[in-house]
Structure 1
Amino acid sequence: MICRAQGMKPVRREHLQAGAGGSWNTYALPPGTELEGSHFRMIGTIRLDPGAEVGLHTHLTNEELFVILEGQGLYEEDGTVTEVGPGDMLILQRTHQHAIRNVGKGPLSFLAVIVD
């Protein structure tokens, strides 16, 4: 399966997981879409505005991977906060809690993948 960049349109989202601010999200596999026989639940890039965040939330039934593409952020996992930047990979396992906030002057962009 190939998802071409020109076929994916950015979608404006506000207050992701009850976090502050907004983002432009571009999905290869939008949330709520299922591929028969696949464990993927969402695949996309998230471009958080300066000061915006994905609010603190728990993954009870799935896991998530973030790959930071550009910008600077603060990543919180289970109460521990760490600075993150381009190239960092953030792996959240089932039953854990996380959030990410853009602390830079430009966008914070990352690839996000959710799997069961």
Structure 2
Amino acid sequence: MLRKAKEKKKTVLQEMFNGKGNFIQQHIITQDEMSGVGRLFADCSLDVGGVVGSHVHHGDSEVCYFISGKGRVTDDAEIIEVGPGDVNYCPDGHLHKIENIGEEPLRYLAVIFYTK
């Protein structure tokens, strides 16, 4: 299977997890195509000033690989600035929050896979 860039499903979510601004997901593969091992593999973009609010993962874990922009991640109780090449891994039962603190959209690849 080959999916051209223009064929990717796009989802625009507002104020994700009581956050702020638009959170755009361009799905690299769909949940159905993940063969039951996960629910998201997407190229994500967070507007300038945008926030994906604090949330805890239950029954799954998330990996965020930052591509461009400048962000701040709350990883449980630790707050860390992130940029291109950085990775946030949020295991099952843990909390994270992602903020765009830069002057351009914050882009990252997100993979959410089931742990149970």
What TM-score do the two structures reach when normalised by structure 1? Answer: 0.89
Change (3 A) 1:62 1:54: same
Change (3 A) 1:36 1:15: closer
Secondary structure in 2 aligned to 1:69?
strand
Partner of 1:14: 14
Is the Cα–Cα contact under 8 Å of residues 41 and 114 in structure 1 kept in the other structure?
yes
Is the Cα–Cα contact under 8 Å of residues 57 and 94 in structure 2 kept in the other structure?
yes
> Aligned partners of 1:11, 1:64: CA distance in 2, in Å?
18
Deviation at 1:36, TM superposition (A): 7.0
> Aligned partners of 2:86, 2:61: CA distance in 1, in Å?
17
1:78 aligns with 2:73: no
**Which residue, 45, 55, 63 being the options, matches 2:43?**
45
Size of the aligned set, in residue pairs, is 114
Deviation at 1:35, TM superposition (A): 3.9
RMSD after superposition: 1.6
**Which residue, 106, 109, 116 being the options, matches 1:108?**
106
Query: Which aligned segments of 4 or more residues in structure 1 are displaced greater than 2 angstroms?
Result: 1-4, 9-12, 33-38
Deviation at 1:104, TM superposition (A): 0.3
Task: Give the gaps of 5 or more residues in structure 2.
Answer: none
**Counterpart of 1:23 in structure 2: which amino acid?**
F
Deviation at 1:17, TM superposition (A): 1.5
Is the Cα–Cα contact under 8 Å of residues 29 and 41 in structure 1 kept in the other structure?
no
What TM-score do the two structures reach when normalised by structure 2? Answer: 0.89
> Aligned partners of 1:14, 1:27: CA distance in 2, in Å?
17
Change (3 A) 1:38 1:8: same
